[in-house]
Amino acid sequence: MPVVKLPNEDGRLEAYRLAEPRSWKRSGGQEFRRIALAAAHLVADPMSDADPWLTAAIDWDATIAYRRHLWSLGLGVAEAMDTAQRGMGLDWPNALKLIRLSVEAARDVPGAVVFSGVGTDQLVPTSSVTIDDVIRAYEEQIEAVEACGGRIVLMASRALVVAAKSPDDYARVYGRILEQVREPLIIHWLGEMFDPALQGYWGKADHLAAMDVCTDVIADHASKVDGIKLSLLDKDKEIRMRRGLPQGVRCYTGDDFNFAELIAGDEQGFSHALLGIFDAIAPAASAALAAHARGDMDEYWKIFEPTVPLSRHLFKAPTRFYKTGIVFLAYLNGYQSHFVMVGGQQSGRALLHLVEAFRLADAAGLIRDPDLAASRLGDVLRVHGVAA
C-alpha cells in the first residue's frame, strides 16, 4: 500500500501507510428496514469563467452521476439540500434545475427515490419581509417542484426567522403550506449549528420549547407529514421528539454525530435517515443497513462504528463547513476530477482538518483506490506548500 507524508500540528511530516481497500457488499436489491436518504453534494465546474463567489458554475453531468452512484447502493437522494450548498452557493434557479435533472434521472433507475428541498431562498431575509411573503415564496417553490414530479422536503426558512413575531406565525406558515401540498412531505428542522441564521426557529430560543411548537404543528396536519428530519446534533432531543410524534409520522435523523445509534433504535422506537454523512460513507451505509435488514447487528456495528469518528470530524464546529470535507473525500475517491466547490467553499476547512479526514476515512475503509487517493492528497498538500 502507498505511503504518504502527512503534516501534523507541529508542522512536521510523518509517514502514513494506507490500509488495504475494503470490498463492500452492495445491498443486492435487498430492502432496508429503514428509509435511508443521502443528502447529496454538488459538483462544481472548475473550467467555468464565472466568478465563484458570485455565480454557481455546476458540472451537471458529474453531479447527476453521483446520484446514480447513491441509487446503485440502495440509498435514496435528498436533493438540493444544505449538503448541495443550498444557501451557501446554490441559488433557487440552479436548485430547481438540479431537482428537475435528478427527478428525471431517477425515472431510469428502478426503485430510485428522490425527495427535494423546498425553501424560501429566493427571498432576501430583510426586515421588510412579511409572513405573506414567506408563504408565497414557499408556494412558488412547491408548485415548481410538484410540477416536475418531485417529493418535498420543506426546508427551514431564514426569511421566516426574520418575519415571525411569535410561534403562532410559524404555525400559520406551516399550516398554510401543509394544507395544500399534494403528497405528505418531510419537514426539515435545521439547527443553528448548521445555519446560524436559523437561531430561534419555531419562535423559541430553547430547543425543547421549540420542539413543542413543532410537534403541535405536525399533530394538526399529520396526514400531510411523512416525517420530520431533525438536525440538532443531540440524540436525547431527537429521541424525545420521535417519542412524541403522532402515530404514522416518521422521524428522520439528521444527527451526523449519533446516527448509528439513532437508526438502530431502542425498545420504544427508531429513526430513519436523511443524512449528509451518507454522501461520504455511502458504501459503508449501504452495507450496514443491509446487515441490519438481515438481523446481523454485530456486522451493523462493525461497519458503522469506524465511520462515526469521521462524521464527527467532518461536522465539527463550525458545522456549516462540513460540505468541504464531503467534497474532499469525493475527490480523493475519484467521484469527481477536482477539489473545487461552488462559492469557493473548498477553502472552508484548514489543511490539517482535511488531512485528518483522510486518515479517518482510511480507518473506516472508505478509501476505495489508495494509489489514486494518495496521489490526489499529494496534489492538495503541494498546493498548500507541503512537499508530500
For the segment 164-185, what is each residue's pLDDT rounded down to a tens digit?
999 999 999 999 999 999 999 9
Residue 27 reports pLDDT greater than 70: no
Over residues 191-206, the mean pLDDT reads 97
Residue 29 reports pLDDT greater than 60: no
Which cell numbers in the block locate residue 107? 425515472
Residue 135 banded pLDDT, cuts 50, 70, 90: very high
Residue 197's pLDDT is: 97
Residue 358 lies in a domain: no
Averaged pLDDT score across all residues of the chain: 96
Over residues 116-129, the mean pLDDT reads 97
* Rg, the chain, Cα only: 20
Over residues 209-225, the mean pLDDT reads 98
User: What is the spatial distance between Cα 136 and Cα 159, in angstroms, rounded to a whole number?
Assistant: 12
Residue 3 banded pLDDT, cuts 50, 70, 90: very high
In three-state secondary structure terms, 66 is: helix
| Residue with grid cell 439540500, as numbered in its chain | 81
The CATH number assigned to the domain holding 255 equals 3.20.20.70
Give me the number of domains the chain comprises.
1
Residue 376 lies in a domain: no
In three-state secondary structure terms, 298 is: helix
Residue 3 lies in a domain: no
Residue 125 lies in a domain: yes
Residue 317 lies in a domain: no
Residue 30's pLDDT is: 62
Identify the weakest region by mean pLDDT among 9-18, 198-207, 220-229, 351-360: 9-18
| Residue with grid cell 467532518, as numbered in its chain | 314
Residue 11's pLDDT is: 84
Residue 182 lies in a domain: yes
pLDDT exceeding 90 applies to what percent of the chain?
A: 95
User: What is the spatial distance between Cα 357 and Cα 234, in angstroms, rounded to a whole number?
Assistant: 22
Residue 306's pLDDT is: 98
Give residue 287's domain range: 32-44+52-307
Write the DSSP string, 207-273. HHHHHHHHHHHHHHTGGGEEEEEEESS-HHHHHHHHHTSPTT-EEEE--TTTHHHHHH-BTTB--EE
Write the DSSP string, 47-58. T--S-TTTS--B
Residue 31's pLDDT is: 85
pLDDT tens digits, 92-121 = 999 999 999 999 999 999 999 999 999 999
Over residues 65-69, the mean pLDDT reads 98
Over residues 15-21, the mean pLDDT reads 95
Residue 94's pLDDT is: 97
pLDDT exceeding 70 applies to what percent of the chain?
A: 98
pLDDT tens digits, 274-323 = 999 999 999 999 999 999 999 999 999 999 999 999 999 999 999 999 99
Tell if the pTM clears 0.85, that is, is over it: yes
Residue 334 lies in a domain: no
Q: Do the bridges between strand 151-154 and strand 185-190 make them parallel or antiparallel, or are there none, so unpaired? A: parallel
Residue 379 banded pLDDT, cuts 50, 70, 90: very high
First to last CA, the chain: 16
Residue 68 lies in a domain: yes
Write the DSSP string, 156-224. --HHHHHH-SSHHHHHHHHHHHHHH-SS-EEEEEE-TTT-GGGTTGGG-SSHHHHHHHHHHHHHHTGGG
Q: How far is CA 330 from CA 235, 241, 366, in A?
A: 27, 33, 10
**For 76, what's the count of Cα atoms within 13 Å in the CB-facing half-sphere?**
20
